[in-house]
Amino acid sequence: MPSALGAVPESTPNPMRLAQPALLRQLRVFCVAARSLSFKSAAASMYLTPSAVSHQVRELEEHLGVRLFERKTRAHARQRGVR
């Protein structure tokens, strides 16, 4: 069967096609987390766990090579308040 000039056969996976959904998912999670300034509330609104949100944001940070969030744990915040 003839194919269009320059067309990639369907059996050949396109690396950009496979990578794009993950990147878009990471960007979507980042946008929700940035608006709420909380992984916990972002997770609740997206029906995810806070850990899943953290992992998605961390993967995006690694992909971009930039730290997007300053992470603070509750234990760390409590220790500062005690002093």
More confident residue, 73 or 15: 73
Question: Domain locations in the chain?
Answer: 17-82
- pLDDT, tens only, 37-51: 999 999 999 999 999
- pLDDT, tens only, 49-64: 999 999 999 999 999 9
* Span 14-30, average pLDDT: 76
- pLDDT, tens only, 64-79: 999 998 888 765 444 4
User: Which residues does 63 contact at the CB level (< 8 Å), separation at least 6?
Assistant: 23, 26
Query: With 80 as the cut, is the pLDDT of residue 19 above it?
Result: no
Q: What's the gap between Cα 65 and its chain centre?
A: 13
CATH class for the region spanning 17-82: mainly alpha
- Asked whether 69 and 33 are in contact (CB, 8 A), the reply is yes
